[in-house]
Each structure stands twice: as structure tokens, then as C-alpha cells.
Amino acid sequence: EPVQGAIDLNKQSIVLPGDERIHASFAAKEDGSFMEVYYDGVTTLYEAFMKGMKLSDDGPCLGWRQEPDMKYVWMKYSVVHENSYNLGCGMVTKGYSPGQDTCVGIYASNSKEWIFSEQACNMFSMVLVPLYDTLGPSTCSFIINQAELKIVICDTTKRAEKLLKDH
């Protein structure tokens, strides 16, 4: 059963005053400026995740299909939180400091593990730096050097080996 959001999907923008008929986010104020926060006390992605867990009463958080013609399988917020927390703790245990000075690369396909990596970085205030096959080997190397990545999470041995070979 889908979780009902606080946003009306049929009213995702508002028309600002004036003849130009400029559309702005529903989150814009009438003068076109934007609100600072949507929910009080929610100023980070981690806080937004925790708010979602509370509002949904630990409801479905992450869904995927094992095969294209199958129904979605759903994972509760608490399970996503536990997996993400364990990954984040593992990175800290291995010597990667919590905080925005730690950039974590991720070289993976979209998957629940990608989301765990993203949420782990959010929990520990680390910066997530995505790498993609479509960028090509020289671009991935450039990003790794530019962001001074000391760690890259890969979803397959093949990707890890490719990254090591190309970098």
C-alpha cells in the first residue's frame, strides 16, 4: 500500500504574481522566496529520513522488484536504518572520520545497497560522490583525484578491478 505524502502531486508548482506566469516550487512563498525548512527540526537528509521513519510508524521505506514482472518487495525504515548504520560504523572503524571532510565514492548500479551507502554517509555527515560507468575511466579517475577519495564502495568485484586498473 503506497504511503501518502504531504505533497499533492497535482500541485507541485505555484504561479507567481505577474504577467510572465512564472511557475515556482510549491514550497515557495508568495514573494518567490523559499521556505527554510518543511518540518521543524528537519534540516539534514538524515533528519528527514528519521522524520519519515517516525511519520510512517516504521512503515515501508525501500522497495524493489526481484524481476521486472514481480510485485515490489518492501523493507521497513528500521531495516534500512540498521544496514546503513552498520555500514557507516564499519567505515568509521576502518579509520574514516565522520564529517564533511570525508568523501566516500560509490561505484554501483541502483540498488538497495546504493541506498544503504547513501544513508550511511548521511548518518555520519560524510559526502557521497557517485561514479558511473557512462562517465568513462578518465572521468572517474579525475573525480577520484579531485574529491581526494580514500574509499570507494563498489557493488561488484568487476567494478572494483576496473577502477583499480584505470586509476
Nearest to 45 by CA among 125, 99, 122: 122
Instruction: Please report, rounded to a whole number, the percentage of residues in the chain having pLDDT higher than 90.
Output: 63
Higher pLDDT, 30 or 51: 51
Query: Residues of 30-42 as b/e, b for ≥16 C-beta within 10 angstroms?
Result: eeeeeeeeeeeee
* pLDDT the model gives residue 4: 55
For the entire predicted model, the pTM comes to 0.79
Averaged confidence pLDDT in the chain? 89
- Does pLDDT of 2 surpass 60? no
Contact by Cβ (8 Å): 141, 148:
no
* pLDDT the model gives residue 1: 44
* pLDDT the model gives residue 129: 96
Lowest mean pLDDT among 32-36, 73-77, 138-142, 149-153: 32-36
**Cα 82 from chain centroid (whole Å):** 16
* pLDDT the model gives residue 23: 84
